[in-house]
Every structure is written in C-alpha cells, then in structure tokens.
C-alpha cells in the first residue's frame, strides 16, 4: 500500500507504508524518480543541535554558558604552565584560551543571549525588560577585563527587582485568579506594562524603606542596592582600573552585595541543594573577584578573573540545567509564614493593578 504526501513544491512523494531498513525513499520531481538519501545518525544529531540552538532560547543560553565556562576554566588551568618547569609551552595555549574566553564573555554570549532576550521582551511589549537586557552588550566593550563583573552585576541588580515584581504579580494572580484578565490587559501595550511594573516597583521600594517588605524580598533588594552602589560608580569613573583605591572600595561593596544575595538564595529554602551549590559557586567567585584587586601580580589577578568567571558562568549553567523550576516555585509557596507575609502586601498591589487596568481601558 502506498501513502501520498504533498512536498513543499507541490509534487507528490510516494512512500512505502513500511519502508525496508536502509532503503531510500523515492521522490518524484518533475516527472523523474530520484532516490531520497536517508540522513545518517551524525547528520540528524548535527541538525537537531542546530535547530534546537536556533529555536530554543534556554538551550542556546545554556550552550553558550557551558562553552564560556570551559574556556575560562582552561584559561585558569593553563595560566600555571609558564611558571612550572618544563611547561613553558603552555604560555601560548594560555594566550589562546585567554583571548577566546574574553571574546565569548565580552561579545558572543551577551550579544546572542541578552540580545535575543531583549528582542523577545520587545515582542511582548516589555520595554523596561528589553532595556535591562541590553545593559551587558552595551557596556561590556567599555570596561577593562577586571571590571567585567561590574557590568554583569549591574544587569543582575536591575533585573532582580524586576523579577521580584513579576513574582509578586504571579503570586497575586494565584491567590486571586480573577486578577489574571486585568494583568493581561495591562500587558497589552508598552505603556500599560511600564505603568504596571513601575507602579508595583514603587510600592516595593516604599515597603523596603519602611521596613514592611517580606524578608525574602528585603535581602535581595538590599543586595541589589549594594551591587549597584559599587558597580555604577566604578563603571562611570574608573572602569579600566583593577587595583586603585577607588576600584578596591567599589569592588568590595559590589562583591559583598553579591555574597549577601548568594546567602539569601538558599537561606530561605535550605532544602534546595541546587540553590546551595549555586550559592557556593557564586560566593567563591565573589571572593576571587575581591582578591583580584589586592594581589600585586597582574598574572595572578588575571588567573583569579578567569577562575571567578568560570565559577559564575558554571553556576548559571548548572542552575538552568538542573534546577526544577516547578519544584522551586512550590517550595517557596508552601511555607505558611512566607505566604502570610506576602499576603499582607497584596492590597496595595491589587489597587494599583485596578487603576492601571482602568487607564488602559480608557
């Protein structure tokens, strides 16, 4: 029995119902019969990887993060070669990995990952998020290698409150399903999304300064202020310096803020081993970033820069590869004390969503 299928060129492809093993399909094009080659396993794998890399944003980011982490790790390992007897030849290899790692960190990864994330945010009418995602690609070319972490820190410190605002909206909708349509209406336009996010952000900042913010959110707002307080002045006034007094002070503030966030990541969910591992890797990276500003040797400082980058990017890749996000969400929401502290803040949020939704309706 034969099955007829239309080809993209409106010809007919005639396929056996159950093709024999290794028997090529027959394809009729322009009245001529041609054997259709059966793809090999390696061809299918390459095609599958490329399609997934191009179509799946998370897979693409994870792939780039993994490659970036390996490059920084290899640059770290080979940096010890020139000092070891008989391994001077590793110096040339180290230069190769050094250049490749920073090219990936400074150009390839941010342009592809953050650039696509910004484009996707624009399609979803999320103008504020689109701007935040563009921070690394815009500012990374402007800073020295020792201050790359300040650019990523700035992006994370702005993006983190944004994520907390989104999380609060999702929590509100979970508790009040009737609010879902209002939130959807607000997000239909750039102005509506901006009013919604900026309005709830203003409420959360007010809670923070009044001491009414739930402690899980409070620690992340505090660590964001510390990261921005150290990163932005350094980017503005001393972006190429590694070990000046100003760079040491601002770098210390930025990285202590990062360590505070690493502690907070698992402190409120200590049963989550994924968060614990990510916190250890990021915390160790922050310590390396502090030390790089105090060592006298430029070679040792560069090794510490690579080591910190390898740990940071590995933590990111590990989190995206192994973290069960649905379980993580469940573990946060089942804690009665956390639910109660969040519920106490929802009335103002509901009123704001109502007012924004009315302006959009008008």
Cβ atoms of 234 and 254 closer than 8 Å: yes
Helix (H) or strand (E) holding 119: helix 115-123
Q: Which residues is 3 bridged to in the sheet?
A: 15
**Residue (of 281, 227, 239, 276) closest to 72 by Cα position:** 281
Q: Provide the pLDDT for residue 67.
A: 92
Residue 84's pLDDT band, with cuts at 50, 70 and 90, is: low
Residue with tokens 């070669």: 81
356 or 47, greater pLDDT? 356
Confidence check: pLDDT of 5 > 60:
no
pLDDT, one tens digit per residue, over 278-332 is: 899 999 999 999 999 999 999 999 999 999 999 988 887 777 666 544 444 434 4
> DSSP readout, 22-89?
TPPEEEEETTEEEEEPPPPHHHHHHHHHHHHHHH-HHHHHHHHHHHHHHHHHHHHHHTTTTTSTT-TT
Q: What gap in Å lies between CA 193 and CA 132, rounded to an integer? A: 14
Q: Which residues is 2 bridged to in the sheet?
A: 16
Q: Provide the pLDDT for residue 223.
A: 95
Cβ atoms of 353 and 183 closer than 8 Å: yes
| Distance linking the first and last C-alpha atoms of the chain | 62
The tokens for 343 are: 């519920």
Confidence check: pLDDT of 110 > 80:
yes
> DSSP readout, 251-316?
HHHHHHHHHHHHHHHHHT-TT-HHHHHHHHHHHHHHHHHHHTTT-S-HHHHHHHHHHHHHHHHHHH
Q: What Rg value do the Cα atoms of the chain yield, rounded?
A: 26
pLDDT, one tens digit per residue, over 330-352 is: 344 445 555 555 666 677 777 88
**Residue (of 187, 202, 172) closest to 126 by Cα position:** 187
Q: Provide the pLDDT for residue 318.
A: 77
The tokens for 190 are: 């750039």
pLDDT, one tens digit per residue, over 122-132 is: 998 888 889 88
28 φ, ψ (degrees, to nearest 5): -100, 120
Q: What is the mean pLDDT of the chain?
A: 80
The tokens for 148 are: 């790359």
pLDDT, one tens digit per residue, over 173-210 is: 888 888 888 888 888 888 888 988 989 899 899 989 98
């Amino acid at each position: 029995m034969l099955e007829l299928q239309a080809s993209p060129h409106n010809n007919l492809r005639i396929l056996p119902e159950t093709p024999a093993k290794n028997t090529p399909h027959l394809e009729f094009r322009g009245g001529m019969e041609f054997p259709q080659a059966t793809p090999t396993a390696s061809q299918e794998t390459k095609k599958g990887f490329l399609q997934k890399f191009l179509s799946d944003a998370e897979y693409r980011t994870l792939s780039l993060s993994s490659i970036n982490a390996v490059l920084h790790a290899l640059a770290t390992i080979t940096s010890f070669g020139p000092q070891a007897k008989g391994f001077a030849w590793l110096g040339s290899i180290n230069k190769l990995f050094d250049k490749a790692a920073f090219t990936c960190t400074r150009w390839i990864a941010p342009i592809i990952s953050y650039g696509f994330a910004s484009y996707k945010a624009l399609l979803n009418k999320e103008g504020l998020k689109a701007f935040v995602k563009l921070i690394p690609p815009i500012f990374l070319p402007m800073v020295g290698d020792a201050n790359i972490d300040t650019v990523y820190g700035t992006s994370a410190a702005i993006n983190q409150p944004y994520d907390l605002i989104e999380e609060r909206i999702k929590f509100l909708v979970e508790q009040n399903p009737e609010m879902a349509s209002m939130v959807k209406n607000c997000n239909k336009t750039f102005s509506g999304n901006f009013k919604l996010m900026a309005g709830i952000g203003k409420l959360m900042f007010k809670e923070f300064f009044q001491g009414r913010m739930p402690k899980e959110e409070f620690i992340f707002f505090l660590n964001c202020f510390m990261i921005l307080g150290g990163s932005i002045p350094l980017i503005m006034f001393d972006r190429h310096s590694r070990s000046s007094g100003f760079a040491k002070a601002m770098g210390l503030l930025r990285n202590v803020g990062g360590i505070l966030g690493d502690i907070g990541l698992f402190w409120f969910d200590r049963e989550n081993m994924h968060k614990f591992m990510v916190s250890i890797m990021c915390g160790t990276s922050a310590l390396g970033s502090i030390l790089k500003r105090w060592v006298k040797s430029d070679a040792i400082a560069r090794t510490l820069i690579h080591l910190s980058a390898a740990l940071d990017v590995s933590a990111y890749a590990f989190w995206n590869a192994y973290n069960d996000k649905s379980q993580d969400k469940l573990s946060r929401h089942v804690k009665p004390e956390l639910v109660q502290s969040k519920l106490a803040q929802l009335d103002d949020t509901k009123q704001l969503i109502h007012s924004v939704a009315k302006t959009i309706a008008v």
